[in-house]
Amino acid sequence: MRARVGAALGRVNLSDRASHRFGTLSGGQRQRVLVARALVARPELVMMDEPFNGLDAPSRDIITGLIAKADRGRRRGYRVHATSPSRATCAPRRACSPPASSP
């Protein structure tokens, strides 16, 4: 399990923060830790509500890259609630659900 956690933190560029408490991390680092946690759990469905909120461009690129690569060789579904970054990540693969229409 420790190896999977270390690998997931490395994939979100937070290996150097492994010993830090969650509450001491910046908002963007917290978002990336939550993505790493989902990677460790290996769920069949990943639901992300505003995963790009508060992220700088490099962090956003890391997360969109992980979403695009995470399901290679596995059946995994993603539901991302966000705007343009999620569309750019999911549209070529048609892997994410479209946003719900407003009444």
pTM value is 0.65
Q: Is the predicted pLDDT of residue 25 greater than 90, yes or no?
A: yes
> How do residues 68-93 score in pLDDT, each as one tens digit?
776 565 555 666 666 655 455 555 55
The single residue listed with the structure tokens 């509450």 is: 23
Q: How far apart are CA 22 and CA 93, in angstroms?
A: 33
% of the chain with per-residue pLDDT over 70: 67
Q: Is the pLDDT of residue 12 over 70?
A: yes
Q: Which residue has the tokens 């979403």?
A: 67
Angle formed by the axes of helices 57-69 and 27-41, to 10°?
10
Q: Which residue has the higher pLDDT, 64 or 81?
A: 64
